[in-house]
Structure 1
Amino acid sequence: MEDRNGVQEMDGSISTSQHSQRSIWYQIYTNSWFQILLISFICFCCPGMYNALTGLGGSGQVNQAVAANAQVALLSATAGTALFVVGPIFNRVGPRVCLLLGGWTYPLYSGSLLCFNHTNNGAFVIAAGAILGVGASFIWVSQGAIMTTYVPESQKGRAIATFWIIFNLGGGVGSLASFGLNYHSTSNTVSNGTYVALLVLMALGWLLGVFICPPSSVRVAQLQVVPEEDKKNWKQTLYSSLQAIADWRVLCMMPLFFSANVFYSYQQNVVNGMTFNIRSRSLNGALYWIAQMLGGLVIGLILDLPGFSRPTRARVAWIFLFATGMATWGGGYAFQKWSDHRMAQGLKQDIDYTDSSISVGPILLYVFYGAYDAFWQSFCYWLMGARSNSPAVTAVLVGAYKSLQSAGGAMAWRINALGKPAMTQFAMDWGLCMGSLVVAIPAVLAVTLTSESEDDLTAQRVSVDDEKPQAQLKE
């Protein structure tokens, strides 16, 4: 129930005096921006530190095939669970339980890499990757629902930017730590201390999930919460999920979703992993994630441009994404021709950042790749947030996003693991990115002034009053 200040009671047995004593802290706890910051720090510790590992190329291992196959297992598991498994579970148990169910899988994966340093047990790494794939589904579906619905519509771009900055700070800090720990390394594999440090931070992020607030307690006027009767109806939950993703606007976004991670394997294992030595790869990883922070800030400002309607902002963001994409991938084509020439001479993993005559260009390209990833994913999240203000509906859309994103990533990592030519991987990534932007044009043009529409309600549930009056009377 609610008190006269409009704050929802967490426990009906709490007295008025007890509630007044905790009301200030409770109001802070249920503030939408506090929750955005909290989920950002959780992702700083878990996916952020994971990104620090993968950004090293081969997760910091000489044997990149094991890491690539672990990525395939991870992304395949995410693709198979994010939509029709985690989405309905989220609608029943909420974000806090989902975060606790998924968070522990991140330190497990870091531990498997530590074990690999001592035992060369590749099977354990691949199995841990598959388990992490399921855990990541819980983390990302919860994160997406919180980030796109817990703030007012006019602030969604800023919420995405804030999350992207803090989350990628994790990858930046983790990579800088790895740079320091491996500064004098000559083995081209990261030290045990790197994996232990990242494991501890991942475990901390998992525990922070305890403090996430349920949607019913967040004070945002437009926030639409799933009724209790719908949470108990698996059939209705599945029907609502299918209805949400079958919308033609969402179908036009799906190629964007599929392409959101296809370039990671090429960028991390080829551009960074096969070009630089271990300490330079660590430094480049930090620069990549710092560029993501700046990229998130830039696209967030564009998506919340004052004085422009939301449909106009959608069009401006699309043009920006297409133009920067063509420029970045065009530079990537020049790099790949140069890299192929070097590889033909037997030169690989040999460039140090101190050799500025040949290192500056590839480093800058890698930085721009990082910024463009932030542009891309932030735009995808913003489009999903523009479709609905319901955490339940948005969880389904984020589930579809993560499923397709992971399917595309699994395909790309498998192609990388099979040792396909780097130019082939590059061409595939460039073509998929630009082509999916073109396919998304109808969805971009269909963005409306507000997400408050009957579509939210019909996608969230079929009205019990209208559809089942007799069943209600019997109950």
Structure 2
Amino acid sequence: FGPVNASIFNIRTRGFNNIFYWGAQMAGAYALSFLLDNQNMTRRRRGLFAFGIVAVFFNVIWGGTLKQQLRYTHGPLPSGETTDYPGGLLDFMETKRASGPIILYMLYGLGDALYQNLAYWIIGSLTNDSQRLSRYSGFYKGIQSLGATVAWQLDAKNVSYLNQFIGNWVLLVISLFPMFYVVYNLTDHSEDPPLAVFEDVDKQSVASASYSVEKTV
């Protein structure tokens, strides 16, 4: 989302936008918690409702992003222009021009929080084994970091924002299928970690060991 902020808004508006972006993240995470933590519903039902919200919400804001993206190609251009967005960089004081893109950027923050909170909730619903949870979370963050690395490289190679956006939308749609499968198969009880098994110790051996320690002391 950063390249969108940098390519069509001036500097002071970028900072202004981030207030709403991160504020929307906090609001989104808090709002989703009422659904995901609702004990009056089964875990699968909660997950399916949240999945539906995330799937519909992201496709709607991606539709708005496509409409906006078709109006420009990139940010700073080799010719020295700051952007080819119609009318130049947006300023938050230009209410008529800037209000729509600012609201859309705020919705990016809301969508990001909804998606990530659902992802972590799904991970936490899979097992109660802390070792497995740490591996699942590490794998999730590793893939996320890989995506960020690829995104930086695409921008460095001057891949058009439209092509980057299409690739992002395709990956989103693909991810919804395995996500639905996992959510649909959730149960109300997570898999428990294996219990440690302690073998019976011979009482005579314990007594002998205790006597040896006392004698040494």
Q: TM-score, normalised by structure 1?
A: 0.39
Match of 2:98 among 342, 359, 367: 359
Amino acid paired to 1:355: E
Match of 2:62 among 306, 329, 332: 329
Match in the other structure for 2:16: 283
Match in the other structure for 1:391: 130
Deviations for 1:139-164, whole angstroms, at most 9, x for unmatched residues? xxxxxxxxxxxxxxxxxxxxxxxxxx
Match in the other structure for 1:273: 6
Amino acid paired to 1:336: Q
Q: How far off its partner does 1:340 sit?
A: 3.1
Q: Does 1:382 align with 2:121?
A: yes
Q: How far off its partner does 1:450 sit?
A: 1.7
* Structure 2 Cα separation of the partners of residues 416 and 450 of structure 1: 44
Identity of aligned residues (%): 30
Amino acid paired to 1:397: Y
Cα distance, 1:278–1:341 mapped onto 2, change above 3 Å:
closer
Q: Does 1:300 align with 2:39?
A: no
CA contact (8 A) 2:7 2:75 kept: no
Query: Which one has the bigger helix percentage?
Result: 1
Match of 1:436 among 150, 156, 175: 175
Match of 2:159 among 414, 420, 440: 420
Q: How far off its partner does 1:389 sit?
A: 2.4
* Structure 2 Cα separation of the partners of residues 465 and 415 of structure 1: 55
Deviations for 1:238-287, whole angstroms, at most 9, x for unmatched residues? xxxxxxxxxxxxxxxxxxxxxxxxxxxxx102x10011111110111111
Q: How far off its partner does 1:347 sit?
A: 5.5
Q: How far off its partner does 1:465 sit?
A: 5.3
Structure possessing the higher radius of gyration over alpha carbons: 2
* Structure 2 Cα separation of the partners of residues 357 and 381 of structure 1: 38
Q: How far off its partner does 1:342 sit?
A: 9.4
Q: How far off its partner does 1:376 sit?
A: 0.6
What RMSD, in angstroms, separates the aligned Cα atoms of the two structures?
2.5
* Structure 2 Cα separation of the partners of residues 298 and 412 of structure 1: 29
Gaps of 5+ in 2: 200-217
Q: How far off its partner does 1:351 sit?
A: 1.5
Q: Which moved more, 1:369-378 or 1:339-348?
A: 339-348
Gaps of 5+ in 1: 1-266, 467-475
Q: How far off its partner does 1:402 sit?
A: 0.9
CA contact (8 A) 2:74 2:160 kept: no
Looking at both structures, which has the greater relative contact order when contacts are Cα pairs under 8 Å and sequence separation is at least 6? 2
* Structure 2 Cα separation of the partners of residues 427 and 369 of structure 1: 16
Q: How far off its partner does 1:295 sit?
A: 1.0
* Structure 1 Cα separation of the partners of residues 178 and 124 of structure 2: 19
> What aligned pairs does 1:38-77 form with structure 2 within 5 A after superposition?
none
Deviations for 1:334-378, whole angstroms, at most 9, x for unmatched residues? 010123399899452721110112111110110111100001100
Match in the other structure for 2:213: none
Runs of 4+ more than 6 Å apart: 341-345
Match of 1:407 among 139, 146, 149: 146
Q: What's the secondary structure of 2:93's corresponding residue?
A: coil
Amino acid paired to 1:285: N
Q: Which moved more, 1:406-415 or 1:347-356?
A: 347-356
Q: How far off its partner does 1:298 sit?
A: 1.9
Amino acid paired to 2:19: A
Match in the other structure for 1:316: 49
